[in-house]
Amino acid sequence: MSKVIVLGAAGALGRHVVRQAVAGGHAVTSLVRDPARLPDDLRATTTVVRADLATDPEAKLGDALRGHDVLVNTAGHVSDGQAFVDLVDRMVRVVESLSAREQPVCWFLAGAALLDLDDSGRRGVDLPRIASTYWPHRANFDRLRATGLDWRLLCPGPMVEGPAVGIDRMRIATDTLPVRLPSIARTLPGFAVLPLFASRVPEMIVPYADAAALMLANLDRGGAMSRRRIGLALPVGMRGSKAGGWAAKAKRSGA
């Protein structure tokens, strides 16, 4: 089993990661700004470290990370814009400050818009309207690619509370969308691809529980997910909703 530190452990995804990691027998550290936000069961079953990722000295954060095999960063949100970019840059810098043997395997979080739409290399963040909101994912990806760290970047669609589907049933893709756009999309300008991409988003609305399970199933150094973007989608024939849950669909819209 691994020694896992979860940044942003009090958040929606962080709580799922912590609970599943504890259930899996890992030794877990919950790093949070306010320990009072952690549920009682997480405070009782993990080592709790109080720290502010944005303002605490980097040496203090490095000390908190030292001794862990795996770092899972669920802190920050793309809507924070430059603050999110600064946070990821800071955490990468802290990990880089550790000696090579002390550097943990790192999971970071992005979104489905960062994935390649097809083998042309065009991404969701290249499309009109999407770029203006999701540009931090591109900046964070560029930062990670410039490091020698063993990182993985989870790129789901919107995540919701709800029963786990099971990662053995989910569609998982490396660097590209886990759902298929019509082949004609390759020849269309960005404004015309945007509605096709949007029509596939409900297939990529996934439970937090499955996102957490995917990360925790891939903690070994190196391997197929090392330094890659990982997409996640519901099984074929299922669509999620931002209200939570999912439903079978009779027909693919926009296909």
Q: Give the CATH number for residue 31.
A: 3.40.50.720
In a domain, 254, yes or no: no
**What is the model's pLDDT at position 241?**
84
pLDDT classification of 247: cutoffs 50, 70, 90 = low
Find the mean pLDDT for residues 17-30.
Answer: 98
pLDDT at 209 over 90: yes
pLDDT at 183 over 50: yes
In a domain, 253, yes or no: no
Q: Is there a contact between 38 and 9 (Cβ–Cβ < 8 Å)? A: yes
- Relative to beta strand 238-240, strand 246-248 is antiparallel
Distance CA 140, CA 162 (A): 28
**What is the model's pLDDT at position 249?**
43
Q: What percent of the chain has pLDDT over 70?
A: 95
Residue 133 token pair: 């909101």
Q: How many domains does the chain have?
A: 1
In a domain, 204, yes or no: yes
pLDDT classification of 18: cutoffs 50, 70, 90 = very high
Q: 196 in helix, strand or coil?
A: helix
pLDDT at 252 over 50: no
In a domain, 74, yes or no: yes
pLDDT classification of 12: cutoffs 50, 70, 90 = very high
Residue 233: domain span:
3-248
Distance CA 181, CA 151 (A): 28
In a domain, 16, yes or no: yes
In a domain, 61, yes or no: yes
Query: Nearest-CA neighbor of 7 among 85, 135, 109?
Result: 109
In a domain, 176, yes or no: yes
In a domain, 132, yes or no: yes
Find the mean pLDDT for residues 238-253.
Answer: 59
Which residues, at least 6 apart from 254, have a Cβ–Cβ distance to it below 8 Å? Answer: 182, 195, 196, 199, 200
Q: Is there a contact between 149 and 103 (Cβ–Cβ < 8 Å)? A: yes
Q: Is there a contact between 74 and 21 (Cβ–Cβ < 8 Å)? A: no
The CB density around residue 34, as the number of other CB atoms within 10 Å, is 9
| Residue 191 CB-density burial (10 A; 0-12 exposed, 13-18 middle, 19+ buried) | exposed
pLDDT at 245 over 70: no
pTM of the full structure: 0.93
